[in-house]
Chains A and B, each alone.
Chain A
């Protein structure tokens, strides 16, 4: 059974700083998703990473995937308050459409 470990669980950072969220998973996965969730809202798709070495960037967020290490990272550059949210990684079980979500990282950007 696929297990996902995401850390840190909580992250409080100052505006303008850089930080990285880590997502480790236990078994083979051929796709990995990153989502953002604002309080009381649904999940907003950020990135889909399809292959080893994949790197995607959107604004101040950059995600990467290392399938050999079973590790994905979400890097935040020069954080701004609007990035405050909970971020989830979710590898897809090999061979089906089931997402297994990490515990989420609650990110708070302090002015």
Chain B
């Protein structure tokens, strides 16, 4: 079974630009979550989507947004990029049905550098 895939893997952008990251979950998984990892703040939850609906949102400004499509693929968008947005962005997918075990599987991440 294919794992979680994220594209692109690396990205360099300039302050003020916007960026869109993509995540394809494991087949059959309907929940997709996004996390930001930085050396200073560690791993922080951005948002979670389930069946095309945002169910949970972390404490990030409105510049961070996302969506999920009917095939469970998800995108996140960051507008008006700031230097502090440089991070590893991780996507996780989970089954969220039945008895579990509710594993959350992470993709390889997208490393975003803002200059």
Contacts and interface: CB of A to CB of B under 8 A. Distances in A.
Interface stretch (A19-27, A57-65, A71-79, A95-103): A95-103
A91 interface: no
Contacts of B64: none
B50 A97 contact: yes
Contacts, number: 59
A43 B33 contact: no
A98 B90 contact: no
A14 interface: no
A97 B43 contact: no
A45 interface: yes
B16 interface: no
Interface residues of A, number: 22
A33 interface: yes
Interface-centre pick from A42, A88, A93 (highest chain B CB count, 10 A): A42
B107 A99 contact: no
Contacts of A98: 33, 45, 48, 56, 58
B102 A101 contact: no
Counting from the closest, the 5 A-B pairs by CB-CB distance are A101-B43, A43-B106, A42-B106, A42-B108, A42-B109
Interface of A: 31, 33, 35, 41-45, 48, 50, 88, 90, 92-93, 96-101, 103-104
Given A48-B100, A98-B56, 13 more contacts: A42-B108, A45-B104, A50-B100, A92-B102, A96-B56, A97-B48, A98-B45, A98-B58, A101-B42, A101-B43, A101-B44, A103-B42, A104-B42
